[in-house]
Structure 1
Amino acid sequence: MPENDRKPHAIIVMGVSGSGKSSIGEKLAEALSLRFVEGDALHPRSNVEKMSKGIPLTDEDRMPWLDVIGQTIRFALSEGEGVIVSCSALKRIYRERLRSAAGGNLFFVYLEGSKELLMDRMGHRTGHFMPASLLESQLATLEVPTGEPGVVTVDIDGTIDAIADAARMKLAPLGIS
């Protein structure tokens, strides 16, 4: 039995805005019987206000938010619970900070899609504080996690069910099912 089957694990569903982190995270959590945490809900008000005004976040803005996400993951794992969190995790230093803070079994599902598809999705969603104008800054900030340990990449050109199923299939060899 793989070691990951014996202890709880955490999964961060990551990618730029419009990639479907929340929808895929919720669907994946349901399929894997794990709790889902909406990472955007953990942002401090100051970050939400900046993004609402179309102002990109800086590393300094993101670090306290990443620490809260890391603490959330560490607590769940320490309680013997697996968890899925949505988080952009755009830079490798952010992912390393999350790995360190989690202190346990942490995996990433990177949702990858074309700029055109992302813009289309952002143009059709309602009630989200992140304007489509910030997609450019997120794409510029993104350091694709190819080759990093514990990362699977899933193409987002499909239905929520198909994308979540693809993520599950790619996570299975890592001992997550």
Structure 2
Amino acid sequence: MDSTEQATGEKRVQSLLIEALERRGLARPGKLRLAQYEAMCADLRQRLAYMTERNLMALEEQVAASKEAREQDRMPIGNKILEWAGQIQPPEEGASPLMRAVFGGDLGRTAIAEGWAPELMAHLRDKRSWPTPYAVTLIREKADGPRRQMVILEERIGYGQEPNAEDRAFLARRRALVEKCRRVADLAAGDAR
């Protein structure tokens, strides 16, 4: 998303979500001061600029129907709104700052080298937090099957066996995911320069 699209998206979030909720009479979350509320709104504008008009309207409806809105005439906190937004329209495929940090560090480089980078990327997209050591163990375990399948298929190809259509599709998907992880690592390396 370039700067023009980002600015247009932020205006869309302001008018279709934030101002629409304020017109409904919803006040800022109870524990936030005015400056904190303005910072929350600025963060929402930046993070939700990717959303379409229709999905922002759906999000506004969901926020207005939330427990906080119904019972206290207040907006929910920004994290809750972001969670709902991710359910309505997941963020674009671009590399978030978290993904760049993970894949730019030792964890990401190890994941790429050992073949479990696609599962790490899926975890980052789903959880949006740095994986704990226990989560890394689970991610590696989840990747065991696909990694083993890749090794077997590549060995068979090396011996001259032609994979069937299903195996070719698996290889293409897996290689594309690994390449996407490498591109994120390259972006992170470019950011560090």
TM-score in same-fold range (> 0.5): no
**Which structure is higher in RCO with an 8 Å CA cutoff and minimum separation 6?**
1
Structure index of larger Rg: 2
Please give the range of the TM-score, normalised by the shorter of the 2 chains.
Answer: under 0.3
TM-score by length of 2: 0.21
TM-score (norm 1): 0.22
Q: Which has the higher strand share?
A: 1
